[in-house]
Amino acid sequence: MPIHEKNLVDKDRLLVKEEAKLDGLDVSGQWSTFIEQRILGDYSTDVLDAVASTPAGKTIVNCWQCGTCTAGCCMHTDFGLREFNPRYFIYLAQKGAEDELKKYAPVIWRCVTCNKCVERCPKGVRVEEVVHSIEGYMRSKGWMGDTPASRWDEAFVKNTLQTGVLDELALTRSYVSREKLAEFNNRFMLRMALKLVRTGRIRTGPLRHRVKGWEKVRDVAKEILEGGGEG
């Protein structure tokens, strides 16, 4: 029979028959696909407990699995990455299907925080923050390592805490060279820098915004980071 959200089924459990005849009637095509049955019994309540206890993930308990978030999700629908399915991430976290959840480590970090899901959720689930909270849990368990996005975010925090104001050029330059992004080669960066110099946008000189007494604020920020903060 036709299978809804076929991408959620493991490929080796999809049984596709090239040719299917029932009582001499050709029923191949969509009708010749079957799913091999499986039984999952290995649930853990840890995931839901951990996610629901974070301020960012607390709304996970409201989810009733309608899928509105996923229908509008720009990664799922516009970009077409079907494996990126926030409804399913929440389902697996609620159920505690750890082994299933682990399979999504390669994609779960790709949420771009467009917040369409949070906007549209009829149950007030802050889906985007819940998904990031699930991702954080997965990382804390060692199910996934750092990702391009988490390395960017860490670098962002480090850069911001230096002076209190983000220097987006320095951040991009250091990130690009560390990640060896071929696209932002020396030629690209030089062209960009030239343009910025010509239009007076390199952040130097006395006119640049500075946060007075930032050292004191930075100490508090470092204390928050070291204490773990909440979430």
Partner 1 sequence: MKAEAKVEVQEKIGGMAFYPGCSLDGLGKAYEKSAKAVIHDLGIQVENIKNYNCCGATEVKTVNYDLSVFLPARNLALAKNMGSGVVVAPCNGCVYSLSRANKAVTEDESTRQRINGYLGKAGVSSYDGSVEVKHLLEVIYQRAGPQAVRSHVKKPLSGLKVACYYGCLYTRPKVYTGAGLQEGKDNPEHPHYMDDLLEAAGATVVDFSAKTICCGGGHAVADREVSLGFSAAILNEATRAGADVVSTMCPLGHINIETNIPKIIEQYGDAIVRPVMYFTQLLGVAFGHSRKDVRLADNFSGADTAMHRLGF
Kindly state whether residue 50 participates in binding partner 1, applying the rule CB under 8 A.
no
Which residue, 67 or 231, has its beta carbon nearer to partner 1?
Answer: 231
Site for partner 1 in 158-217 (CB under 8 A): 160, 164-169, 172, 175-176, 181, 183-184, 188, 192, 195-196, 199-201, 203, 208-209, 211-214, 216-217
- Contact present, 134 and 119 (Cβ < 8 Å): no
**41 versus 205: smaller Cβ distance to partner 1:** 205
Whole-angstrom Cα Rg for the chain: 23
**119 vs 12, 57, 68, CA distance in Å?**
36, 16, 10
Indicate whether 116 belongs to the interface with partner 1 (CB under 8 A): yes
Q: Are 175 and 156 in contact (CB under 8 A)?
A: no
Q: State the nearest-atom distance from the C-beta of 62 to partner 1, in Å.
A: 12
Q: Of the candidates 75, 45, 51, 76, which has an alpha carbon nearest to the alpha carbon of residue 126?
A: 51
Q: Using CB under 8 A, which of the segments 42-50, 86-94, 98-106, 219-227 binds partner 1?
A: 219-227
Residues 67-96 contacting partner 1, CB under 8 A: 74-75, 78-79
Tokens 């992004």 locate to 181
